[in-house]
Amino acid sequence: MDKLRIGDFEIAPGEQRKIDLPVAKLYTDASVSLPVHIIRAKKPGPTIFISAAVHGDELNGIEIIRRLINQKKFKITTGTVIAVPMVNVYGVVNQSRYMPDRRDLNRCFPGSAKGSLAGRVAHIFLNEIVKHCDYGIDLHTGAIHRSNLPQIRADMADEETKELAEVFGVPVILNSNLVDGSLRESAVKNETKILLYEAGEALRFDEFSIRAGMKGVLNVLQHLGMTRKATATKRKKIAPFIANGSQWARANASGIVNNKVNLGDQITKGEILAEIGSPYGEVINSVVAPRSGILIGKQNIPLVQEGEAMFHIAYFSENDEAIADHIENVHEQLIPENHYSNI
């Protein structure tokens, strides 16, 4: 097994190393680097990247990687793990989704060595990290004031990617098309099998989302033969449900929101999801479910403008009630009822 070269750094088999990959300089002349943690086993095997904060305000993934690499029992037996907890360092510093040039980094791949700042970061990440990898897991959350139920988004037409998505073990899988300019699109063109994990809300830690994500990463590493079976949790395997599709319910008025449903709830077509009222307490209109399914995403801020997306509903061929019960059981597995009483 050869040395792995990332930038000016060489990492030998059996070596564990933290490096700072130079990205660019600020106009203050301060350097900005990409933090990268590489763990290599002595034995050859797959290479996988685990990335977070492509959007700088999406913090759950940072905590997932932080816990993973600091777990005392975490050890890989074959292959290489490349963990990048902050891809968009600028955004993390500024608590912003975007790069300083106001570009969405996840729409700037494959980037360019001579392009915009976002394009240069995308180019460096793709060429110095992704191109070494057989697999990838990109960790995300909902946008600001929006929460997502833990879910995997992946190209389910690819059999190996589908298998990895199921192995990850979160309650819901969405078959998601590749988006132009996304990290996932560029990774697929590089023949890197990639999963996108969505869970929680921007600028917030969510314990359920963090635990589900960490467990999912460990499940994938074990499935690829990179860790011993004892590394992953011994709890009952979580069998995911694959959504046929999803749809947003939008606000039909502007006003103050009174939510009637929560993430993971079973939704029936025509059910009232929220009431929108005036500042004087009058109900202006009700937002109803356009179809039956499971609520996998929702807006959290209690103010809404007409036309805004409020509730994300996934629909399945399976029984929705069984799926809702399954999601509740998953939550109990990862965060028992007595968890909060022990804090």
- Chunked in runs of 10, what are the mean pLDDT values of the chain (343 residues)? 92 97 84 94 97 98 97 94 97 95 96 93 97 98 96 95 96 93 97 98 97 96 90 58 93 98 95 97 97 96 97 88 80 70 44
Q: What distance in Å separates the CA atoms of residue 31 and residue 23, rounded to the nearest whole number?
A: 8
Q: Is 204 in the same domain as 318? A: no
Domain's final residue, options 195, 217, 239: 239
Same domain, 125 and 41: yes
Domain that holds residue 125: 4-239
Determine the straight-line distance between the first and last CA of the chain, rounded to whole angstroms: 45
The answer to whether 20 and 9 have CB atoms below 8 angstroms apart is no
Q: Using alpha carbons, select from 190, 148, 144 the residue that is nearest to residue 172.
A: 148
Cα gap 51→129, rounded to integer Å: 10
CA 224 to chain centre: 20
Helix (H, G, I), strand (E, B) or coil at 171: coil
Among 298, 257, 251, 249, smallest CA distance to 278 is for 257
Residue that is last in its domain, among 239, 267, 282 = 239
Cβ atoms of 167 and 122 closer than 8 Å: no
Q: Give the integer Cα–Cα distance in Å for 206 and 135.
A: 26
What is the amino acid identity at position 165?
A: A
Alpha-carbon gap, residue 105 to 177, rounded angstroms: 18
Q: Apex CA 323: angle with CA 138 and CA 170, to 5°?
A: 20
Pairwise CA distance, residues 49 & 187, whole Å? 11
CA–CA distance, 196 with 176 (Å, rounded to integer): 9
Give the CATH number for residue 164. 3.40.630.10
Check whether residue 226 and residue 248 sit in a common domain.
Answer: no
What CATH number should be reported for the domain holding residue 258?
A: 2.40.50.100
SS3 of residue 314 by DSSP: strand
Q: Which of 179, 154, 178, 148 is nearest to 167 (CA)?
A: 154
Which of residues 239, 265, 290 is at a domain's end? 239
pLDDT in tens, 58-100: 999 999 999 999 998 899 999 999 999 999 999 999 999 999 8
Give pLDDT, residue 236.
59
Contact between 168 and 197 (Cβ < 8 Å): yes
Q: What pLDDT score was predicted for residue 338?
A: 57
Secondary structure (3-state) at 195: strand
User: What is the H or E stretch that residue 189 is in?
Assistant: helix 183-189
Going along 43-134, which residue ranges are E strands?
Answer: 43-52, 78-84
Q: How many residues does the chain have?
A: 343
**Is there a single domain that holds both residue 229 and residue 318?**
no
**Residue 76 Cα distances to 45, 73, 231, 296, angstroms:** 10, 10, 9, 33
Whether residue 342 is contained in a domain is answered as no
Q: How far apart are CA 101 and CA 50, in angstroms?
A: 25
**pTM (2 decimals)?**
0.93
